[in-house]
Amino acid sequence: MYKRPLSLLLVFITLLFIASSCKNNPSGNDKGEYLEINSWVQSQMERYYFWNELVPEEVDGVLPPEDFFASMLEPSDNFSYISDDAQSLLAELNGSSYTAGFSPAFGRFSGTDDVFIVVEFVYPGSPAENAGIERGDIILEINGQGLTIDNYLDLYYDESETTTYTFGEYDPEQNSVSLGGSTTLTKAELSLDPVVYTDIIEVNSQKIGYLFYARFLTGEENQFIESVDNALSEFANQGITELVVDLRYNPGGRISAAKNLANSIAPSAVTANEEAFIRYNYNAELEQYYIEQEGLDSPNLVSRFSADPTNLNLERAYFLTTSGSASASELLIIGLRPYMDVIMIGTPTYGKFYGSYVLTGENASPPNNYAMVPVTLKYENANGFSDFRDGLAPDYTVEEDLFQPKAIGDTTDVLLAKAIQLITGADEPAAKVPSRIPYQLLDDPIKLRKGNVLFEDEKLK
């Protein structure tokens, strides 16, 4: 009987194993097709991630980068994210967005899976404004599909060029919402100036500066810093004695933009003395690195006030807030608190005391087109205050009614009216009967992530 030589049998088995491996890994790289990108992800997260003890020592080259990144996140971390399009992400973080130009609030009708959108505000000059969309408009369908708990984010953030919105009509007498007409909008790449509305309100010889600020952005060539500076310069020129900063829908943004605004609001003695504005804590290794290389006064460890050409030299400032006020909005408020009266009006803020670096793969070896925004730091004010997990509580609780809102800047808006009453000593604003529709506001995780407190280590540029 013929017997196959053992050496030939081993060769045959080896060839079968190689063929099977190539089938499971078409690239032929037995460490995985994502090994190079994931090695970069692993090394950056090991250095910069706040909870870097969770970063694995071994690199998984088989998992797609998005999944590998997600696998090492701390369970409560809802803010870190990764993108495979660094250039688009950087443009958006500078204020360029592909959008119809309105800010949405998402709500869920109690006892159902039905979701609605209420327009919080509309950006001037946007397709939404040109189409007549206004604050308080209710949207029930997008492209003919009803909004539900399972699809509302996908439908709203769909990148189709044209989008049809079907509106709801609120009947205050019946306290109900019914389907109304539709409008089709063409989205555009917009550079959204966060200074949406300003005014100088004169009441009983008092001049009150009002700034509605949508997001902490610097913009290309710092044009959005100039927008804020121009508004504050006008306040100074007109001799305002009080300031109301409306942050009710501001999800955050760049620390440099928050510091710029703080330098104009804080007392001049505070900015001249360069007092501590915000302090930063990192993972143990990164914090020790900054201490050893740059000292305890490193700008990566403490951000200080600085003298500003436009300083309002105020003794107090009023801030309008809701649960949509997050990260850099909260950072600004607590950073000012040790040095002046900070009066909050509205409802509690979101409660986000972490910040992020923006890490891009352009200098990786080899380069890649990914960008990561991992939680890198926890911030606190000069008094060590942080960890406000339930948000910052207002001094005066005032709830707005999104179904029956006043225009931004309207002095009868319940939040602004309360600020004016506190400033002038006028009679308490008349109580308003709110709508009674039971609903629950929903988080917008995409908006919250893109509103992360963003901080840049100079060596990363």
Q: Which CATH class is domain 98-191?
A: mainly beta
Q: Residue 383, exposed/middle/buried by CB under 10 A (0-12, 13-18, 19+)?
A: exposed
Question: What is the predicted pLDDT for the residue at 94?
Answer: 85
Question: Would residue 252 be called left, alpha or beta, if left means φ above 0 and alpha means ψ between -120 and 50 degrees?
Answer: left
Task: Average the pLDDT over 261-281 and give the result.
Answer: 97
**Report field, pTM of the whole predicted structure over 0.85:** yes
pLDDT tens across 436-446, in order?
A: 888 888 988 88
Confidence of residue 15 (pLDDT cuts 50, 70, 90): very low
Question: What is the predicted pLDDT for the residue at 252?
Answer: 94
Q: CA 287 to CA 289: how far, in whole Å?
A: 5
Check pLDDT > 60 for residue 280: yes
Task: Average the pLDDT over 249-271 and give the result.
Answer: 96
Q: Where in the chain is the domain with CATH 3.90.226.10?
A: 195-355+369-435+442-460
pLDDT tens across 343-352, in order?
A: 999 999 999 9
Q: Where in the chain is the domain with CATH 2.30.42.10?
A: 98-191
Percent helix, strand and coil across the chain, each rounded to 5? 30, 25, 45
pLDDT tens across 84-115, in order?
A: 999 999 988 888 889 999 999 999 998 999 99
Both tokens of residue 268? 């001049």
Chain-wide mean pLDDT for the chain? 90
Chain position carrying tokens 């407190």: 453
Question: What is the predicted pLDDT for the residue at 14?
Answer: 39
Question: What is the predicted pLDDT for the residue at 145?
Answer: 96
CATH superfamily of domain region 195-355+369-435+442-460: 2-enoyl-CoA Hydratase; Chain A, domain 1 (3.90.226.10)
Least confident of 21-25, 116-120, 302-306, 448-452: 21-25
Is 437 or 44 the better-scoring residue by pLDDT?
44
Task: Average the pLDDT over 163-167 and give the result.
Answer: 97
Q: Is 31 helix (H, G, I), strand (E, B) or coil?
A: coil
Check pLDDT > 90 for residue 23: no
Question: What is the predicted pLDDT for the residue at 99?
Answer: 93
Q: Is 396 helix (H, G, I), strand (E, B) or coil?
A: strand
Percentage of the chain lying above the pLDDT 90 cut: 78
Check pLDDT > 70 for residue 27: no
Check pLDDT > 50 for residue 11: no
Q: Please enumerate in sequence order all residues whose Cβ is within 8 A of that of 120, keeping only pairs 6 or more positions apart, or say none.
A: 102, 103, 104, 105, 135, 249, 324, 402
